[in-house]
Structure 1
Amino acid sequence: MTANEMPPMATPRVAAGALFFDNDGRVLLVRPSYKKHWDIPGGYVEPGESPRAACIREIEEELGLNTAIGPMVVLDWAPAEHEGDKLLLIFDAGSLTTEQEQAIRFADGELTEWRYVAADDLERYGPPRLTRRLRAAIAARNSGRAVYAEHGNVL
């Protein structure tokens, strides 16, 4: 089969985000300057880069932190109308120490603030599918098992 005979294939954008917690189990959200809603630290994977490496890079670029991350907790198929096919991965980033919190710097200017938010309050900060994705990530982290989701709904 030649390249011209190949059936069409999905070429999704891939993004990776970090799920940080505080000691009360609240999730760290950041406010991007270019979005109308809050999100978790992270961003798109660059060509040749793994999602895990992209997550670590984005944490450093956005928050000024050099930190390790744990396992993937969610893989979400989340195409968006004006963005096309997307695969979104969330990695467990554990908890930040007080020193790390104090060291947060919005190094690249993409973010304007950060805060911890309780799982029950997530819908006030982002669209429903982001809320579903984050709640799925929290449940996956608590169960110790990664999950697959579509539009934030675990299947």
Structure 2
Amino acid sequence: MAENEHEQRMARPRMAAGALFFDSRDQNRVLLVRPSYKPMWEIPGGYVETGESPLAACQREVQEELGITPPIGSLLVIDWAPSPAEGDKVLYVFDGGELTPDAAASIKLASDELLAAEFHPVADLDQLLIPRLARRVRQAIGARGQGKPAYLEHGAPPTD
């Protein structure tokens, strides 16, 4: 196979990274953000820029969107989730840990892109998030409990 033919076949996925934050008073509640440009809620995060690691992108996005710089913990999930509109995508979710009431109160939203940041019960994820993200967040919560990251495809473990 010619070198440029091989190059053309290589995936060049878009990558995004986000953080999953938990309410320190109620571990069954996670922090979601309401973008001004989408109808559904999301987790804090965004696209990885050229030359940036997924962890660095997660830290930058949390700071830009929420105005806070909490330590970002370990990787919870990697999700291969291509979309018809955007092509190949690889999404990383990191453990943001627990946010205390004081930390949550210090959030300053990026007013140009977010309408709200609120803790929501895990039981409400299906109503608040697009289905693939709801699956990804539930898998991330499970991975956090097991202490090891999970590999996903479209928000779920791959089937044989």
CA distance in 2, matches of 1:112, 1:154: 32
CA distance in 2, matches of 1:77, 1:5: 24
Q: After TM superposition, where is structure 1 displaced by more than 4 Å over at least 4 residues in a row?
A: none
Q: Secondary structure at the match of 2:71?
A: coil
Structure-2 residue corresponding to 1:128: 131
* Matches for 1:71-150 after TM superposition, within 5 Å: 71-107=74-110, 109-150=112-153
Tell me, yes or no, if structure 1 residue 47 matches structure 2 residue 44: no
Structure-1 residue corresponding to 2:15: 14
Structure 1 contact 74–140 (Cα < 8 Å) conserved: yes
How many residue pairs align between the two structures?
155
TM-score, scaled relative to structure 1: 0.95
TM-score, scaled relative to structure 2: 0.92
CA distance in 2, matches of 1:83, 1:4: 23
Structure 1 contact 31–38 (Cα < 8 Å) conserved: yes
Structure-2 residue corresponding to 1:24: 26
Question: % of aligned pairs identical?
Answer: 55
Structure 1 contact 62–109 (Cα < 8 Å) conserved: no
Q: Return the letter of the residue paired with 2:126.
A: E
Q: Secondary structure at the match of 1:101?
A: helix
Structure 1 contact 72–91 (Cα < 8 Å) conserved: yes
Structure 2 contact 47–57 (Cα < 8 Å) conserved: yes
Tell me, yes or no, if structure 1 residue 61 matches structure 2 residue 88: no
Tell me, yes or no, if structure 1 residue 4 matches structure 2 residue 25: no
CA distance in 1, matches of 2:123, 2:5: 50
Tell me, yes or no, if structure 1 residue 152 matches structure 2 residue 155: yes
CA distance in 1, matches of 2:100, 2:42: 20
Structure 1 contact 61–108 (Cα < 8 Å) conserved: no
Aligned-residue CA RMSD (Å): 1.3
Q: Quote the offset at 1:3 in angstroms.
A: 3.5
CA distance in 2, matches of 1:6, 1:102: 51
CA distance in 2, matches of 1:69, 1:31: 21
